[in-house]
Amino acid sequence: MLGKKKNRPFVSVVVVAAGNASRMDGIDKQLVEIDGMPVVIRSILAFEHSNKVDEIIVVTKKESIPELNRQVREFFANKVKFIVAGGRTRQESVFCGVNCIDDRCKYIAIHDGARPLVLTGAIDACIEDAMVYGAALLGVKVKDTIKAIDKERFVEKTIDRENLFIAQTPQIFEISLYKQAMQQADENGTDFTDDCQLVESIGHKVYVSHGHYNNIKITTPDDISYAQALLEQMEDGI
């Protein structure tokens, strides 16, 4: 077992929790509790419990750092190495985290702190896929019928959903590939809201690993009660 651990690649995780909560009516969605545990802590612990993850960097708002430090200690998130302030955009915040990772890192996993129900098993599978393809993300097939509309809100066409997937996180990349994409984005002055899009911009394909529909992103106050209900179902094995 010890030899196996030594031989596997070093995996760093950046948990992004620096959003401005513009759709949360002033509620800090990262620190709000679901079943007695803050959202961002639930996200962190999913990676804490993975045998494939070596370190976690958390990026948050500067004013949230003291409270998050306290919570990390309270919930024994021992793989958290740094909690740092983010930037003006999501991309800048991710880069702040990437700049703090260990020099031994071979793969970087980037996760939205507002996705507290991600499963450790799905994380592990996504890491394995990233090791094969260089880049991978969790995703689920679109269930609903998708319509493209014109400026007057009339339907122009119905889009075939067979090959449509909803992108989730984590999104995981070979570190040299990701840093190459970071450098190009910096040189071109481009700013992406999705890390796969960043890597796609340098021509690299990203593999879609099997996600799960419970891996929701908390965006509005209604999502908090929905996440609570999903968590209860997961705990009951429904």
Q: Indicate the SS3 state at residue 220.
A: coil
User: Domains in the chain and their CATH numbers?
Assistant: 2-227 (3.90.550.10)
pLDDT interval class at 20 (50, 70, 90):
low
pLDDT digit string, tens, across residues 194-237:
999 999 999 999 999 999 999 999 988 889 999 999 999 888 76
pLDDT score, position 235: 81
Question: For the chain, what is the radius of gyration of the CA atoms?
Answer: 18
pLDDT score, position 236: 74
pLDDT score, position 1: 40
pLDDT score, position 135: 98
Contact 56, 81 (CB under 8 A): yes
H/E stretch holding 12:
strand 10-17
Decide if pLDDT at 4 tops 70. no
Q: What percent of the chain has pLDDT over 70?
A: 92
Handedness of CA 20, 227, 193, 142 (dihedral sign): negative
pLDDT digit string, tens, across residues 36-59:
899 999 999 999 999 999 999 999
Decide if pLDDT at 92 tops 50. yes
Decide if pLDDT at 119 tops 70. yes
pLDDT digit string, tens, across residues 150-201:
999 999 999 999 999 999 999 999 999 999 999 999 999 999 999 999 999 9
Strand partners, 174: 107
Which CA distances in Å does 77 have to 18, 82, 103, 130? 19, 11, 21, 24
Contact 196, 169 (CB under 8 A): no
